[in-house]
Structures are given as structure tokens and as C-alpha cells.
Amino acid sequence: MNGGSPDSRATTDPQDELFDLLDAEGRPTGVVKARGDVHRDGDWHAALHIWVGGVDDDGEPFALFQRRSLTKDTWAGYLDTTVGGHLRSGETLEETVREANEEIGLEVSLVDLTFVGRHFIAASDGTVAERELHLVHAVRCDQPLADYRLHPEEVASLVSIPIDEVIALCIGERNQISGMECTRDGDMSTVILSAADFVGGLALDSPYPRLALTALSELLAGRQPESFELRSTHLDD
């Protein structure tokens, strides 16, 4: 889930970072291109999504969302997947999992994650044509919110939300939900959230958040989630 208008003058995201381009089926094309150009031209590229959730002391399952830093080149300040990172040119998925440690201080390897699906997203805000393949994984971590270590430039805070409530928001059964937010500095507060607070407005016209959160819920319940493949298109391919 990405979007918004990139501005290389205002962002801390390296616009010269190199990505391997994909075709519309997720196959490598052999072409390498800079991040800024990829987001400008709408080329297919890959990203890792890790949905992190846990079970609190009262036995209630929760999902974690990161609040993107105000210096991000897309969707600055919005709530997003717990961990998300582009696959840089030439690197493996195992290497990209480093984003979990870099972004929120969660040390995991690929073997710790459960693959839950592939999501092809093609969307435009009128300025950026984004075509991205999300390789979607889930992991359980029950540690307290304050124990995470947030990246000083990329992540502003983490928000913990009861997973049933956020699924209800995804499918339109709730207009508002509450969560607990912890900033980089460790300040904790209760927040009231609507779909508009999430990347893509929680993509209410796409099943992706619901599918990913349902898979995470299954994992937290000790069951093996069924994997999915989904295409969400909001522009002409």
C-alpha cells in the first residue's frame, strides 16, 4: 500500500535507490531503474509487507500499524502495514527482511515469517502511477508496544489495534475504532481512527487489508492461513 506524491526535495527516501523492474505477472524483466523514476513512470516493482500482530495479557489479538514519517515520499503521516520495504536491485527476499529490524527493531528472518499472499496494486493519485507487487507475510510477536525501536526517519510511531475492530473498519461495519499509539520517544496515547487515517483510506474498495488481517488473525489463533493472490487496479494497465 503506497501512494501520494513523491518530492525528492522534501523526502528522506533515497530517490537514486535502484529497483529491479517486473512485468505485470511479477517476473523480472532484467531492467534496473532508480526509485524516483520508477514512482514517476509507474513501473512494476516488488516490495515486502510484514503484518505483525500478537495477543495481549487479556487474551485479545491485536495488529500493529506503523505511522509513516512525515518525510516519506509516499503517504507521509498515514498508518500502514507494520513493516514494508522495497526489494532493492539484486537483493533477495531474505535480505529485505532486514526492514523489520531497521523500521521497528524486530529481529526476524524469513524462516520466522508465514507467507500469506501476493498483492498486485496499480493505483494513481493523478501525479504518481504506482505499480507494485507486495509479497505478503505475517508474524506473531506479543511484546509490549513500548519495547519496539522505531527508525528515526522512516517511522513516526506504532499503533496497536484489536484485530477484530480493524477488520470491522475494513469491511465498513465500523466508522471509527480506537487504538494505542507509541511514538519514537515512547509517549503513549489512545487514538481514535477512521479509514481515512490509513494508507489508501484502508483501501475499502479492495479486499487486501481484510485478507491480510484475516490471515494474521488465523496465525494468532494457531492456525495455518490460506494464501491469496489479489489484483487491485485503479488505473489502466
Residue 168 lies in a domain: yes
Asked if the model's pLDDT at residue 63 lies above 90, the reply is: yes
- Examine residue 11 and state whether it is found in any structural domain, yes or no: no
Q: What's the pLDDT tens digit per position in 155-196?
A: 999 999 999 999 999 988 999 999 999 999 999 999 999 999
Q: What global pTM score does this model have?
A: 0.88
The yes-or-no verdict on residue 104 having pLDDT over 90 is yes
User: Quick one: average pLDDT of 78-91?
Assistant: 92
Q: Select from 163, 123, 174 the least CA-distant residue to 140.
A: 163
pLDDT of residue 4: 41
Decide: residue 101, CB within 10 A, 0-12 exposed, 13-18 middle, 19+ buried: middle
For residue 51, pLDDT beyond 50: yes
**In a domain? residue 58:** yes
Structurally, the chain folds into a number of domains equal to 1
pLDDT in tens, 111-136: 999 999 999 998 776 667 789 999 99
User: For 95-113, what is the mean pLDDT?
Assistant: 93
Residue 36 lies in a domain: yes
Domain with 209, as residue range(s), is: 18-233
pLDDT value at position 234? 57
Q: How many CB atoms lie within 10 A of CB 221?
A: 10
Give the H/E segment covering residue 231: strand 228-233
Residue 128 lies in a domain: yes
Name the band, by pLDDT with cuts 50, 70 and 90, for residue 8: very low
User: Residue 10 above 60 pLDDT?
Assistant: no
Q: What is the CATH number of the domain that holds 34?
A: 3.90.79.10
Asked if residue 96 is part of any domain, the answer here is yes
107 CB-contact burial (10 Å; exposed 0-12 / middle 13-18 / buried 19+): exposed
